[in-house]
Amino acid sequence: MKKFSDRTAVITGAASGIGLELARRAATEGMNLVLADIEFDKLEAAAATLNLPPRRVLLRKTDVSQEVEIAALADAAFDRFGGVHLLCNNAGVGLTRVTWEHATADWEWVLGVNLWSVIHGIQHFLPRMLKQDAPGHIVNTASAAGLLSTPGMAAYNVSKHGVVTLSETLYGELTAAQAHVGVSVLCPTWVSTGIQNSVRTRQERFGDTAPAGAQSIAYAERMDQAVASGRLSAADMATAVFDAVAHDRFYVIPHRRINQAIELRMHDILNLRNPTPLG
C-alpha cells in the first residue's frame, strides 16, 4: 500500500503508547482515523492532541476482546468513511508471573485482548477490505514475545506466538490469492509505554489477579525495568510500521539486537537442544 492520504486507518489501543503514535503518524500522512480503545476518556484526550478536524476522526469505545464490539467498530468505520485501508490490530495487555500462578481468568483476559481481538479484527474487516477497489494493509501488533519464550509471561507469550502464526498464515493465503491487501506483524522488544500498568484496563468480569509469589514479583520488577529502559520509542514503532506497509514488508522487528536470541532459539530447535534459558 503506497498511498496513505485520504485513505482510512483503524487503530485499536489508540489512547496510549504505540497505538497513539500509529494514530499520530496516520494523521500526518493525511489519513482519516477510526480510533478505538477501552479507555474512552483517555482516547478523547489523546485524539485532541492530533489537531484533526472532526470530519477526519471517529472515536469508538471498544473492548477488542468482544467480537460484537469489533463487529460494531467495523460497521461504524465503513459507514462513516466508506472504506478501510489500514487496520492496526494493536491493543494489548501484559501480565507478568510464573505460569503456575496464572488463573483461568488471567489466561482469558490476556488471550482475549491480545489474540481474539486480532482474530475478530480479521474476521470483520478483511472480507470487506478484499471487496474494495483500493489496496489495503493489516498490521498486527505481536511482540518479540511471539518469537521467543521469555520466562514469567506465559499467557502473553502464547497470545503473541498466536498473533505471529496467524499473521504468517494470512500472509501465505493473501499472497496465494494475489490479493491487494497485505499484512505485516510488528514484533518489538521493550518500548516505554503504559503496558506494565495493563491491569488498569482489566475488565470487571475477570476479577482481580491472585497475589503473586516471590518469583513472579522478581520477574515483574525485571520487566518493569526493561520496559522503562526501552531504547526505541513508540514513535519509532510507528515509523517502522509505516515504512513496512509502504514497502509491503511482513516482519517488522525494530530492535535488531533481538536477532541473536531468535537465532539461538532456532538453533536449539534444529539441533534438538533443550531451550537455552533467556535472561
Q: How far is the CB of 65 from ligand NAD (least distance, A)?
A: 5
Residues 6+ apart with CB under 8 A from 121: 12, 64, 70, 87, 89, 138, 140
215 SS3 class: helix
Q: How far apart are CA 89 and CA 199, in angstroms?
A: 20
Q: Which is nearer to ligand NAD, 64 or 126 (CB)?
A: 64
Whether 219 sits among the annotated catalytic residues: the reply is no
Backbone angles phi, psi at 14, to 5 degrees: -85, -5
CA 69 to chain centre: 17
Interface with ligand NAD in residues 24-83 (CB under 6 A): 37-39, 62-65
Q: How far is the CB of 81 from ligand NAD (least distance, A)?
A: 20
Q: Which is nearer to ligand NAD, 12 or 216 (CB)?
A: 12
**The three three-digit cell numbers of residue 155, written as one number:** 499467557
Interface with ligand NAD in residues 119-138 (CB under 6 A): none
Is residue 11 at the binding interface for ligand NAD, with CB under 6 A as the rule?
no
Out of 156, 171, 219, 251, the active site residue is 156
Q: Which is nearer to ligand NAD, 135 or 230 (CB)?
A: 230
Q: How far apart are CA 131 and CA 138, in angstroms?
A: 15
Interface with ligand NAD in residues 90-109 (CB under 6 A): 90-93
**The three three-digit cell numbers of residue 193, written as one number:** 509505554
276 SS3 class: coil
How many residues touch ligand NAD under the rule CB under 6 A: the total is 32
Q: Which residue of 191, 238, 245, 253 would you call a contact of ligand NAD, by CB under 6 A?
A: 191
Q: How far is the CB of 2 from ligand NAD (least distance, A)?
A: 25
Q: How far is the CB of 26 from ligand NAD (least distance, A)?
A: 15
Is residue 17 at the binding interface for ligand NAD, with CB under 6 A as the rule?
yes
**The three three-digit cell numbers of residue 151, written as one number:** 520466562
Q: Which residue of 8, 32, 96, 141 would you call a contact of ligand NAD, by CB under 6 A?
A: 141
Q: How far apart are CA 36 and CA 90, in angstroms?
A: 10
Q: What is the DSSP letter of 232?
A: B
Interface with ligand NAD in residues 211-270 (CB under 6 A): 227, 230, 234
- Torsion angle (degrees, nearest 10) of CA 255, 261, 266, 268: -170
By CB under 6 A, name the binding residues for ligand NAD. Answer: 12-13, 15-19, 37-39, 62-65, 90-93, 113, 141, 143, 188, 190-191, 193-195, 198, 201, 227, 230, 234
